[in-house]
Structure 1
């Protein structure tokens, strides 16, 4: 396959920009496939009540960088100074960075584990194991997995789940749809199960045989069910982890040499 054949990435917005830069730094051109747009939802009475009573929550769990941005926008309007005594949690480092940048708060993040989904990893934190009658705010988008809310409630928390944004799926451009159909790409990088299921309809046998880079074992299992034959699980969803997995999948000989050098060292 030609060296100019791109790696297709599906991560939207600024995070996609960072991922593209990380992959390009490894020597691979990138094609951006805008498969999803995130849209903030209008404020509801339930949201307004939560913002007014924000100081009643003991813990706040945020599931994505965009959720963190939406939360910060709301709190700026209701709380010029944040109340004390609240612990903040994020499912990944990008979300934690957004919370710290926008709110200046210390954020608990899940322990790093190769190929482990960040929701499951977050739930292993000791401070989330016993939540007897504690009020917990879960900030997310519409839909999504119920794992966090159900597990926290099962541990005794009184959970308020607020959906602050919606995900809108977008079809590939004709040029990218053609690439997917022909398998004309070095690798496809997906860190969302919703996007993976959506794009599978454009992927023919040629595409299903190309490397698919995913951010968790859960997504790899889903990929197998959808017919993808070469899923590669990155060591997390960070740009560095995904770019490393791309390099390992696209340049396996170089990866073997690097590993040999590490073992010799």
Structure 2
């Protein structure tokens, strides 16, 4: 494949899957190494939570990497998981990781919610009344407080564990030049932190190029950062993002199977 590439910013193995999904539609792809996910060393607070894992009524996991970190910790302390564990995940990819690593049933946002966000997860009826229930929230450093704040307001006793950090990386000089010139077909971003990071190098031409995002929240953020052509994908899965890329780059030739939007 030749020509200007689609730039994708998703780190790790999920970025590899996304690159494959976009390339399958016939578009050249370039991965940007602008964010690294790093597990945090275990602290006494973490260890206490893992040892008391069976005391939590519900466990909410916000990302696939948080799910990986949780699974690694439980492998050390719980050869057999507690019975009746109630697990929740913000998105389908996080749920798939939990199911694959731990073999547990995972509750996710309603299928008709459209986006994988904290707000859609909070619509679940089982998270509406949480009087005095202990809830473990497994996430990364920083991030939005909406989950912890809302669960607390509904009566839960929330323990929030940051199990990994996001380390921003400056783009390579050649990539900086591409961002400045807008020398690409589209830019794909599914993280507000990465979007804010990349905006520092985006010149006026880049701000006019298609920006594919995974939620209306990110589209709103993109507008405040000066991006003029945000496109909201129908979800954060690789297939959903790839479909949005194909349509934005070449609507007549978009060949991503819409039946696959719920996969990935």
Q: How would you bin the TM-score normalised by the shorter chain?
A: over 0.9
Give how far 1:85 is off.
2.4
Give the structure-1-normalised TM-score.
0.94
Give how far 1:117 is off.
4.7
5+ unaligned residues in a row in structure 2: which ranges? 259-264
1:80 aligns with 2:83: no
1:173-195 deviation per Cα after TM superposition (whole angstroms, max 9, x unaligned): 11111110110000000000000
The aligned residue for residue 11 of structure 1 is: 10
Q: Is the 8 A contact 1:115 1:234 kept in 2?
A: no
The aligned residue for residue 263 of structure 1 is: none
In structure 2, the CA distance between the partners of 1:252 and 1:200, relative to structure 1 (3 Å rule), is same
In structure 2, the CA distance between the partners of 1:122 and 1:200, relative to structure 1 (3 Å rule), is same
Give how far 1:84 is off.
1.1
For residues 220 and 114 of structure 2, the distance between their equivalents in structure 1, rounded to whole angstroms, comes to: 11
For residues 248 and 148 of structure 2, the distance between their equivalents in structure 1, rounded to whole angstroms, comes to: 35
The aligned residue for residue 220 of structure 2 is: 221
Give how far 1:254 is off.
3.7
1:29-58 deviation per Cα after TM superposition (whole angstroms, max 9, x unaligned): 100001100111111111111011100001
Q: Is the 8 A contact 2:91 2:108 kept in 1?
A: yes
The aligned residue for residue 138 of structure 1 is: 137
For residues 139 and 152 of structure 2, the distance between their equivalents in structure 1, rounded to whole angstroms, comes to: 16
Give the structure-2-normalised TM-score.
0.94
Give how far 1:115 is off.
5.5
Q: Is the 8 A contact 1:58 1:85 kept in 2?
A: no
The aligned residue for residue 204 of structure 1 is: 203
The aligned residue for residue 50 of structure 2 is: 51
Q: Is the 8 A contact 1:139 1:164 kept in 2?
A: yes
Q: Determine helix, strand or coil for the equivalent of 2:18.
A: helix
4+ runs deviating over 3 angstroms: 112-117
Q: Determine helix, strand or coil for the equivalent of 1:145.
A: coil
For residues 173 and 163 of structure 1, the distance between their equivalents in structure 2, rounded to whole angstroms, comes to: 29
Q: Is the 8 A contact 1:190 1:215 kept in 2?
A: yes
The aligned residue for residue 234 of structure 2 is: 235
The aligned residue for residue 30 of structure 2 is: 31
Q: Is the 8 A contact 2:6 2:30 kept in 1?
A: yes
The aligned length equals 257
The aligned residue for residue 249 of structure 2 is: 250
Give how far 1:83 is off.
0.6
For residues 143 and 137 of structure 2, the distance between their equivalents in structure 1, rounded to whole angstroms, comes to: 12
For residues 251 and 118 of structure 1, the distance between their equivalents in structure 2, rounded to whole angstroms, comes to: 28
5+ unaligned residues in a row in structure 1: which ranges? 260-265
Root-mean-square deviation over aligned CA pairs: 1.7
